[in-house]
Amino acid sequence: MATIPASMEASIDKDGLVVVTGAGGFIGGHLVADLRRRGFEHIRAIDAKPLSEWFQSFGDVECRQLDLAGLDACREAAEGAAYVFNLAADMGGMGFIEANKALCMLSVLINTHLLMACREAGAERFFYASSACIYPIDRQETTDVAALKERDAYPALPEDGYGWEKLFSERMCLHFSEDFGLKARVARYHNVYGPNGTYEGGREKAPAAICRKVAQAKLSGTNEIEIWGDGQQRRSFMYIDDCLRGTELLMWSDVQEPLNIGSAELVSIDELVDLVEHIAGVKLNRRYKLDAPQGVRGRNSDNTLIRERLGWEPSISLREGLEETYRWVHDQIVAGRTQPALAS
Phi, psi of 130 (to 5 degrees): -90, -165
pLDDT at position 92, please?
A: 72
- 50-59, 98-107, 252-261, 270-279: range with lowest mean pLDDT: 98-107
Cβ–Cβ under 8 Å, residues 261 and 189: yes
pLDDT at position 162, please?
A: 94
pLDDT at position 84, please?
A: 98
CATH 3.40.50.720, domain 16-193+238-263, yes or no: yes
Whole-angstrom distance, CA of residue 210 vs CA of residue 228: 10
Q: What is the mean pLDDT of residues 127-132?
A: 98
Residue that wins the pLDDT comparison between 19 and 6:
19
pLDDT at position 32, please?
A: 98
Phi, psi of 83 (to 5 degrees): -135, 135
Which candidate, 68, 70, 73, 21, places its Cα nearest to that of 43? Answer: 21
Q: Helix, strand, or coil here: 70?
A: coil
- In the chain, which residue ranges form alpha helices assigned H by DSSP? 6-10, 26-37, 71-78, 94-99, 101-105, 108-121, 162-180, 206-220, 240-251, 269-280, 304-310, 318-334
Q: What is the pLDDT of residues 271-311, one digit of tens each?
A: 999 999 999 999 999 999 999 888 889 999 999 999 999 99
Whether 19 shows a pLDDT value over 90: the answer reads yes
The pLDDT confidence band at residue 342, using thresholds 50, 70 and 90, is low
Helices (H) and strands (E) in the chain, counts: 12, 13
The pLDDT confidence band at residue 201, using thresholds 50, 70 and 90, is confident
Single pTM value for the model: 0.94
Which candidate, 191, 214, 217, places its Cα nearest to that of 204? Answer: 191
Q: What is the pLDDT of residues 40-94, one digit of tens each?
A: 999 999 999 999 999 999 999 999 999 999 999 999 999 999 999 999 998 776 7
Cβ–Cβ under 8 Å, residues 282 and 217: yes
Q: What is the mean pLDDT of residues 145-149?
A: 94
Q: Helix, strand, or coil here: 30?
A: helix
Q: What is the mean pLDDT of residues 162-173?
A: 97
pLDDT at position 202, please?
A: 84
Which candidate, 14, 220, 166, 199, places its Cα nearest to that of 93? Answer: 199
Whether 227 shows a pLDDT value over 80: the answer reads yes
Whether 147 shows a pLDDT value over 60: the answer reads yes
pLDDT at position 3, please?
A: 72
Cβ–Cβ under 8 Å, residues 238 and 193: yes
pLDDT at position 344, please?
A: 39
pLDDT at position 33, please?
A: 98
Cβ–Cβ under 8 Å, residues 90 and 106: yes
Whether 152 shows a pLDDT value over 80: the answer reads yes
Q: Could you state, in order of their start, the residue ranges of all structural domains in the chain?
A: 16-193+238-263
Q: What share of the chain is helix, strand, coil (3-state, %, to 5)?
A: 40, 15, 40
pLDDT at position 108, please?
A: 96
- Which residues carry out catalysis? 162
Whether 261 shows a pLDDT value over 80: the answer reads yes
pLDDT at position 95, please?
A: 78
Whether 233 shows a pLDDT value over 50: the answer reads yes
Q: What is the mean pLDDT of residues 133-140?
A: 95
The amino acid at 203: R
pLDDT at position 114, please?
A: 98
